[in-house]
Amino acid sequence: MSGPTKPLYTVSGKSFTAVAISTAAKAGEWIQTRLGQFSKLEMKSSSRDLVTEVDKGAETMIRNLIRTHFPQHAFLGEEGVGGDEEDLLTPERAEQAEYVWIVDPVDGTTNFVHGLPFFSVSIALAHRGEVIVGVVYDPVRDELFVAEKGKGAYVRGKRARVSEEATLADSLLATGFPADTDRNLPINLLGIRHLATRSRNIRTIGSAALHLAYVSAGRLSGFWELGLNAWDVAAGALLVQEAGGRVTDTAGRPYRLTTRHIAASNGAIHDELVSELRAANATGYEPPSGGQ
């Protein structure tokens, strides 16, 4: 006689999604208590690319909480802390892993540093390169966005659905200002310049994970940005797809963990968004100007 069916995405009775949610909630709660109270501000690649002890502390906390439940799983965190050197993964290697947790402990560090209350914890779980769980938590608004592959996306416990705008002209878009001022920022500015007059308007809230969560909740029609990493977008990409939207790279190819230049939308405007980025030479896949 067969026993009760095990819920999907469960190992030894522990749901991946439940662990992702409780971990994001604990980390988010702690991060919020440190708003305006961090003591160590460091520059990474430049003064546009910041990290504090709160980013590192939150990543270590998340890593330890996940390891308690799933010690065999791999871990890819933005700050690369809280584990052994040899455990450190790249997005390329993460695609090969059986299970890998992909984590941005504070997405929106610049906002956090300046006391601007828009940042999030982003936690995704991928299985052999495919994102199967995505959680984005905004501790300031106590707003939780959750998606499971094939099971839909939820915001504050209610089913999330992308918006219905059918044209760019009716769309509210979002993007960011990449830290890399040599290549990704100037190219993204070409896209902003081009799309500003072809969309209803453009917002930059300062957290790619929140931008994607807002596309999934129908608050934004679309989002694109160059130079992002798996930890910024893996969870949000699943949210958008499970809410009925579309996620590709800026050239229109399917989203992968290695995608750096991302376009996400309600689906209806996707082809137009990608073709306007191409028309503006703003996909980031064009040869660098002056090159062959």
Provide the binding-site residues for ligand IPD, judged by CB under 6 A: 78, 104, 107-110, 176-179, 206-208, 225, 228, 232
Q: Which of 260, 141, 150, 131 is nearest to 208 (CA)?
A: 260
Distances (CA, A) of 128 to 8, 14, 73, 194, 252: 16, 20, 12, 37, 22
Residue 232 or 242: which CB sits closer to Ca ion? 232
Residues 229-248 that bind Ca ion (CB under 5 A): 232
Residue 163 or 250: which CB sits closer to Ca ion? 250
The site partner of 207 among Ca ion, ligand IPD, none (C-beta below 5 to 8 Å per kind) is ligand IPD
Buried b (16+ CB within 10 A) or exposed e, 101-120: bbbbbbbbbbbbbeeeebbb
Residue 211 or 270: which CB sits closer to Ca ion? 211
Q: How far is the CB of 232 from ligand IPD (least distance, A)?
A: 5
Q: Which of 107, 138, 242, 249 touches Ca ion by CB under 5 A?
A: 107
Residue 138 or 232: which CB sits closer to Ca ion? 232
The site partner of 178 among Ca ion, ligand IPD, none (C-beta below 5 to 8 Å per kind) is ligand IPD
Per the CB < 8 A criterion, the answer to whether 165 and 266 are in contact is yes
The site partner of 206 among ligand IPD, Ca ion, none (C-beta below 5 to 8 Å per kind) is ligand IPD
Per the CB < 8 A criterion, the answer to whether 262 and 255 are in contact is yes
Residues 24-83 that bind Ca ion (CB under 5 A): 78
State the residue number with the nearest CB to ligand IPD.
176
Q: How far is the CB of 162 from ligand IPD (least distance, A)?
A: 20
Q: Which of 59, 104, 138, 272 touches Ca ion by CB under 5 A?
A: 104
Q: How far is the CB of 278 from ligand IPD (least distance, A)?
A: 21
Strands 222-225 and 172-174, by their bridges, are: parallel
Residues 6+ positions from 263 with CB-CB distance below 8 Å: 222, 223, 224, 247, 248, 249, 250, 252, 270, 273, 274, 277
Q: How far is the CB of 206 from ligand IPD (least distance, A)?
A: 5
Q: Which of 152, 233, 67 is nearest to 75 (CA)?
A: 67
Q: What's the CA gap between 22 and 25, in Å, rounded?
A: 5
CA 205, 206, 210: angle at the middle one, nearest 5? 70
The site partner of 60 among ligand IPD, Ca ion, none (C-beta below 5 to 8 Å per kind) is none
Q: How far is the CB of 179 from Ca ion (least distance, A)?
A: 10
Q: How far is the CB of 210 from Ca ion (least distance, A)?
A: 10
Q: How far is the CB of 3 from ligand IPD (least distance, A)?
A: 43
- Residue 7 has which token pair? 């819920």
Q: What's the CA gap between 270 and 263, in Å, rounded?
A: 8
Interface with Ca ion by CB under 5 A: which residues?
A: 78, 104, 106-107, 232
